[in-house]
């Protein structure tokens, strides 16, 4: 009963928060996120040791002050993106397209892949407003899905899932992976974030900023097995207007891996390393967009 009571408390707190976010204009939401980030940076630096450790691995040549500056900017981007993930579920198509800008090559690429009807795996990381790609695609009738973690609190889980699906996104929980394969057959673009520690059972070790990191291999396994296209998504916040995002998609060509004489395990490892390196290059270009708070190197190789 105590556990269930806690779930109800969490549910009503999140419900109040969502209601406020829903009512406020987008710029007010981002202002609130920035204010909260300033408070967090000054009084309580969330997972400070993890952030600074990750930054030391990624940028050993930067000074301590430079890393702290990246950490503080990362807090802002994390909170702004988190608040936006709620707000965008209630925005109209016109409001979304007013703030999501995409280059012509990326637009042509996703339209071409969509016309092929094979579905698509979209890999990415906790970088910027990573849900932007799904919101943009649904505005043009491209079926989009997110693979999300299962939450212990099923009440709060519905507060995420129901608005997302009303906004046009299919939600796939990790325990319901058959839903993923059905979605692929139905020509969905399926987003899988592949930059968190995956442990020994579900991950493989690849180099991430020159250090072995356990990485989810599902995107590589699915693409190699079913021969579906893979894209890497990138979202960068505009420097002059924080409510706008520059969205791009990069084709991850793995035909050389598929046609090689490597074993299946080596093919998977090579492809995971390939898209991990591509994500790393994104992070190097805009390090303040990355979520350095994750314990990326929690699992070490034997």
Q: Is the pLDDT of residue 229 over 90?
A: yes
N-terminal to C-terminal alpha carbon distance within the chain? 41
Q: Is the pLDDT of residue 3 over 90?
A: no
Check residue 7 and give its pLDDT: 85
Query: In 10 A of CB 5, how many CB atoms?
Result: 9
What whole-number distance in Å separates Cα of residue 36 and Cα of residue 17? 13
What whole-number distance in Å separates Cα of residue 41 and Cα of residue 72? 6
Q: What is the pLDDT of residues 230-283, one digit of tens each?
A: 999 999 999 999 999 999 999 999 999 999 999 999 999 999 999 999 999 999
Q: Is 12 helix (H, G, I), strand (E, B) or coil?
A: helix
- The pLDDT of 106-113, averaged and rounded, is 97
Confidence grade of residue 2 (pLDDT, cut at 50, 70, 90) = very low
Q: What is the pLDDT of residues 135-147, one digit of tens each?
A: 999 999 999 999 9
Average pLDDT of the chain, as a whole number = 93
* Residue boundaries of the structural domains of the chain: 2-289
Task: Find the angle CA(158)-CA(159)-CA(162) to the nearest 5 degrees.
Answer: 65
Lowest mean pLDDT among 53-57, 128-132, 177-181, 228-232: 177-181
User: Per-residue DSSP letters for 40-77?
Assistant: HHHH--TTHHHHHHHHHHH-TTS-HHHHHHHHHHHHHH
Check residue 1 and give its pLDDT: 40
* Residue keyed to tokens 């693409």: 223
């Amino acid at each position: 009963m105590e556990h269930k009571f806690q779930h109800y408390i969490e549910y009503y707190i999140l419900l109040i928060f969502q209601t406020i976010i829903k009512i406020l204009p987008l710029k007010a939401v981002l202002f609130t996120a920035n204010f909260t980030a300033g408070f967090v940076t000054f009084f309580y630096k969330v997972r400070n040791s993890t952030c600074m450790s990750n930054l030391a691995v990624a940028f050993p040549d930067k000074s301590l002050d430079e890393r702290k500056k990246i950490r503080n900017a990362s807090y802002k981007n994390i909170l702004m993106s988190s608040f936006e993930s709620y707000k965008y579920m209630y925005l109209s198509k016109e409001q979304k397209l007013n703030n999501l800008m995409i280059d012509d090559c990326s637009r042509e690429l996703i339209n071409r892949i969509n016309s092929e009807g094979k579905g698509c795996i979209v890999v990415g990381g906790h970088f910027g407003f990573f849900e932007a790609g799904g919101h943009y695609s649904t505005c043009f009738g491209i079926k989009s899905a997110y693979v999300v973690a299962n939450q212990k609190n099923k009440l709060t889980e519905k507060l995420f899932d129901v608005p997302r699906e009303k906004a046009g996104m299919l939600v796939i929980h990790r325990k319901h992976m058959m839903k993923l394969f059905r979605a692929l057959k139905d020509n969905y673009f399926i987003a899988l974030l592949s930059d968190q520690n995956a442990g020994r059972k579900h991950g493989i070790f690849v180099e991430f900023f020159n250090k072995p990191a356990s990485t989810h291999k599902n995107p590589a396994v699915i693409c190699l097995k079913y021969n579906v296209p893979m894209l890497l998504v990138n979202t960068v916040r505009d420097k002059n207007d924080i409510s706008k995002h520059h969205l791009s998609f990069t084709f991850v060509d793995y035909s050389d891996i598929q046609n090689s004489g490597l074993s299946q395990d080596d093919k998977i490892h090579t492809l995971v390393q390939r898209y991990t390196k591509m994500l790393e290059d994104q992070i190097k270009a805009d390090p303040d967009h990355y979520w350095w708070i994750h314990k990326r190197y929690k699992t070490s190789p034997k």
